[in-house]
Amino acid sequence: MNALIVGCGKVGSELAKTLVNDGHNVSVIDSSQKSLDNIAEDLDVMTFQGNGTNLELLKEAGVENTDIFIAVSTSDEINLLSCMIAKQFAKCETIARVRNPLYFRQADFFKAKLGLSRIINPEYLAASEIFNILQFPALSRLDVFEGTDVVISTMHVTSEYKMIGKSLQQIRQESPDIKALVCAAVRGDEVIIPSGDFVVQEGDDITMVATRSDIRAFIKAEGIPNTPAENIMITGGGTIAYYLIEKLLGRGRNVRLIERDENKCIDFSERFENCEVIKGDGTDRRFLLKHGLPMADAFVPLTGIDEENIVISTYVKNASKAKVITKVTRTDMSDLIQTLSLDSVVFPKMMCADIISQYVRARNAGAGGNVATLFRYLDNRIEIAEYKADSNFKYLNVPFAKLDLKKNLIIAGLIRGGEFVVPAGKNMIKDNDSVIIVTTNKEIQSLQDIVAGAKG
C-alpha cells in the first residue's frame, strides 16, 4: 500500500515507522528539511520539503497513486485542507489530525463535507486513557474495545497481591465466577504469552482481558485498594488538560490545575467554573506541597517537557500516596521509563500511530476477519487486536481444541452479542464474533493468519 504523510513531527515519525515496519511504501512531506533528513536516516521513506497544501508538491510526492493520505502536521487547518486537495486527485483514504476542541466538536461535519475517512485527535485519546485509569487506580494501563464493556488492563504485581506464587490455572480455579484471562506478562526484559502453568511473581506486569465489572472483581479478590480518584491535581494547561478536565468535571471530580502562564490560567478559569486554577510552577516541589499535593488522590503532569513530567512524577510517587499518570511525548524514551517504575505512562503519539495503523491494516487485510481494534504494548513487542470474523474465515465453528494455532499467540476472548466469552477448548469462532488475539508474532495481519492448520 502507498501511504503519503504530511508532517514528520513526533506523530508523523512514529506513524511512518509503524507503516514501514508493516511493509507499506511511505512518502513524507514536511516544511523542515532537517526533520526530513532525520527521518530519512532511520527509515526507508521518500521525503519532500514544502507545504502539504501545495498542489504541485503533492503531485511530485505521488498523491495520484496514493492509497492512504494522512495529514498530521501541527496545523489543523493544513491537515484538513491537504486532505481535501488529495481527495480531488486520488481515490484514496484520507485521515486528518485535528486537535483544536472547536474543530474536533465538528468532526462529523468535516468528515461529511471533506470526504475524510477519519479524524484523529491524539490529545483526546490521551485524555480518555488517563480518565479511564483514574477510574481504576490499581491499574497501570487500561484500553477499551470501542462499543463494548470489554477492556485490556495491565497491573504491576506488588507484595500486596494474593496471586504471588500461584499459577494462572490455580487463580482461575479459586475465582471461577470471574471471567478474565491473563494474556501477557512481563518479567524483567522477558515478554511472555503465558500458559495455565505460569506462576505469578512479585514485580511481574500482567495484562488481562475482561469486562470492567470482572476487572473490579479480580482486583477486589486480590485485596488491592481501587477507589476511583476524587481529588486530582494536574500540572500544565495544554489541550490534553482541557479534554481531561472536561471529562473529570462531568463526573463530579475535584480538579486543581497548576499552570505557569497567566493567560492560560484565565482561559481555564473562564472555561471551567468548577476547576480550581492556580498560577505557579507545577514542577516546584514546595509549591506542590503547599497547594494540596498531600490531599491529592491522583497527580497528572501534562507539561510540554517530557523530562519535567518524568522528574516530578518520580518525586510525587515517593512523596505522596497519589496515583501518578505521566504524559510522555517522545516515544524513544520508553526504554528509559521502564527502569523508573512509574505508576502509569501515556504516550499520545504512539496511541495515534496505533489507531491509524489499525485503520490501514483493516483496509489492507484479506477476507476472513479484518482488524477492528489494535493496541501495541511494550515498545511494539506485543500486539492485542480485535478481529471481526465473517463467513470467509476458514475455521468457523471449529472447536479451539481442534485448531493448531501459531506459536507465540493466544486467543484472549470472544465478544459475541455484547457478551464476553473466556475461551476454552470446546469454544469456537462463529460468524460475526469479535476475536481478541494477543501475540508477539509480527506476521499476524488478519484472523486467517492465526491458524497453522486443523488437527485431525
Span 379-406, pLDDT tens digits: 678 889 898 898 888 899 999 999 998 9
Given a cut of 90, whether residue 244 has pLDDT beyond it is yes
Mean pLDDT of the 329-338 span:
71
φ, ψ (nearest 5 deg) of residue 158 = -105, 180
Given a cut of 60, whether residue 5 has pLDDT beyond it is yes
- Predicted confidence (pLDDT) per residue in 81-115, tens digit: 999 999 988 889 999 999 998 899 898 998 888 88
The pTM (predicted TM-score) of the whole model is 0.86
Mean pLDDT of the 115-123 span:
90
Give the type of residue at 183: C
The C-alpha atoms of residue 41 and residue 62 are separated, in whole angstroms, by 21
Sheet harboring 370-377: ordered strands across?
Answer: 370-377, 382-388, 434-439, 409-416, 419-421
- Predicted confidence (pLDDT) per residue in 255-297, tens digit: 999 999 999 999 999 999 999 999 999 999 999 999 999 999 9
Mean pLDDT of the 206-215 span:
93
pLDDT at 360: 78
Given a cut of 70, whether residue 365 has pLDDT beyond it is no
pLDDT band for position 145 (cuts 50, 70, 90): confident
Given a cut of 80, whether residue 364 has pLDDT beyond it is no
Given a cut of 70, whether residue 184 has pLDDT beyond it is yes
pLDDT at 372: 80
pLDDT band for position 240 (cuts 50, 70, 90): very high
The C-alpha atoms of residue 374 and residue 361 are separated, in whole angstroms, by 9
The C-alpha atoms of residue 186 and residue 434 are separated, in whole angstroms, by 26
Task: Give the whole-number percent of the chain exceeding pLDDT 90.
Answer: 61
pLDDT band for position 455 (cuts 50, 70, 90): low
Q: Strands 409-416 and 434-439: what pairing?
A: antiparallel
- Predicted confidence (pLDDT) per residue in 398-449, tens digit: 999 999 989 889 999 999 988 899 888 899 999 999 999 999 887 887 888 8
